[in-house]
Structure 1
Amino acid sequence: MKNIVLGLALAGSLFMNAQEKEQQTSSGSPVKFGVKAGFNASSFSNSNSNYGEYNEKVKLGSHVGVFVTVPVAEKFSIQPELLFSQMGSKTEQKYTYSSLSDGYLVKREFSYKTNLNYLVLPVMVQYHILPQLYVEAGPEFGYLLGGKSEGDLKTEDTFGGTTTIRNESFSNKIPMELYKRFNFGIGFGAGYYFTQNFGVTARFTAGITDLFKNNDDHKIRNNALQLGVAYQFK
């Protein structure tokens, strides 16, 4: 929680500073405010995939929010943002349990999607290769608002030569008490403005912190590729 407060305090400070600079700047490279939106392609990185057959796939989501671009040098600027961002992953998992003593065999196949909703605060340092083209890097602070897990489960029970197959579907809210509310990552990206107002953006954010509390066996982190559009106000 302390990291969340520090991140929000940093955002507030940058936005207040941006407003002061905008009032002082009448030419050159003024401070610019804007809005952005687009798609997320996210997945979990799992440092331990030895539990059965385990496969993570990309889940699509979206992001939307506001930003302010603050010039700090001739080719450098700082861009804090405040976004609502959907992350998560698609997971396929298979495992088998057998008991040789009584001939009992169980096979289970999971296919489910985890949707995680975050309020995120990226703070990007941008280098302008050209007036309309930039590359960027910086930290991203996230706060988990909630989420849902939904998918299908197939179970095959074999006993005494007879096999029973059950198919189930589920949709549940994630157990928030198991998740860490704070998420931290590092973003790398680029952007191009076709006009003074309209541009396209791309960013990859690699998760640093673990998603779950008390997870000593292995780490599971958020990764997300963001593609979108941005509009700067005059």
Structure 2
Amino acid sequence: MKKRSLSVLLLVCLAAAASAQGLHYGIKADLNMFKLDGAGIKSNYTLGGRLGVYAEYDFSKRWGLQPELLFSQVAPKRGDDFGAKYISTGNDNANKSIKLSYITLPLLLRYNVNKLITINAGPQYSYLLYANENLLTYNRNAFKRSDVGVAAGATLNFDILHVYARYVLGLTNVNDIDDRYQWKTRQVQIGLGVNIK
């Protein structure tokens, strides 16, 4: 329900701004280097990907907003000490590779340094659609559904093509097993966007 409400809200905002002169929108894709920091998880970056749409609305020469709607897949890995940390609930035969699929909604403030360079920063909400993991016994879920973070990065603008790099710091503990141990996400993204309008 929360996922649907956020998606509808984003679409309404985009539709409301659709007639504005400063609005541009397009499609984007990136490489997403993802890390899950926490007990029982390997603390190294793994490669994933994201695909989605974005809008850019400049309400002045320098300032604007950039909402996005993205589908993301990432693959953190279980650490060798997972069974020792979660001895009462952990599955000793769990897969080492974990596959997570998210719908991600960044809402970024844009600052146009000049025509070439734009700085972006703002909150990001991610909703876990699917988790291919068997970390726990009795098919219990190891991950919380919601992850809130902050994103910051820079974009190079070449006519209709944009090249960007971004860092995302997760603020939510996504560990749904044991509150004594925190799992927080870290992401480095490099990608391309293409303006349709």
Give your verdict on TM over 0.5: yes
1:63 maps to which of 29, 50, 58: 50
Distance in 1 (CA, whole Å) between partners of 2:114 and 2:82 is: 53
Aligned residue in 2 for 1:101: none
| CA 1:95–1:184: 2 relative to 1, 3 Å | closer
1:206 equivalenced with 2:169 (yes/no): yes
Aligned residue in 1 for 2:11: 12
Gaps of 5+ in 2: 85-91
Distance in 2 (CA, whole Å) between partners of 1:134 and 1:5 is: 30
Q: Give structure 1 regions of 4+ aligned residues with deviation exceeding 6 angstroms.
A: none
1:94 Cα offset (Å): 4.5
1:178 Cα offset (Å): 3.6
Aligned residue in 2 for 1:191: 155
Q: TM-score, normalised by structure 2?
A: 0.83
Does the 8 Å contact 1:7/1:141 carry over to 2? no
Distance in 2 (CA, whole Å) between partners of 1:95 and 1:5 is: 34
1:38 equivalenced with 2:30 (yes/no): yes
Does the 8 Å contact 1:87/1:224 carry over to 2? no
Structure number with greater Rg is 1
Q: TM-score, normalised by structure 1?
A: 0.70
1:135 equivalenced with 2:119 (yes/no): yes
Residue by residue over 1:86-131, the C-alpha shift from the partner in whole angstroms, topping out at 9 and shown as x without a partner, is 134234424899xxxxxxxxxx9x9822221101111111101111
> Does the residue aligned with 2:43 lie in a helix, a strand or coil?
strand
Q: One-letter code of the match for 1:39?
A: L
Aligned residue in 1 for 2:73: 86
Residue by residue over 1:20-61, the C-alpha shift from the partner in whole angstroms, topping out at 9 and shown as x without a partner, is 31xxx3xxxx31011000111001122xx4x7xx64211111
Residue by residue over 1:140-190, the C-alpha shift from the partner in whole angstroms, topping out at 9 and shown as x without a partner, is 11111112249xxxxxxxxxxxxxxxxxxxx99xx5634221211110111
Distance in 2 (CA, whole Å) between partners of 1:214 and 1:72 is: 44
Q: One-letter code of the match for 1:119?
A: I
Percent identical: 25
> Does the residue aligned with 2:17 lie in a helix, a strand or coil?
helix
Does the 8 Å contact 2:148/2:171 carry over to 1? yes
> Does the residue aligned with 2:180 lie in a helix, a strand or coil?
coil
Does the 8 Å contact 1:143/1:183 carry over to 2? yes
Compare the two structures and name the one with the higher strand fraction. 1
1:16 Cα offset (Å): 1.6
Count of residue pairs the alignment pairs up: 188
Distance in 2 (CA, whole Å) between partners of 1:7 and 1:206 is: 20
**What is the correspondence of 1:134-153 to structure 2 with a 5 Å cutoff?**
134-149=118-133
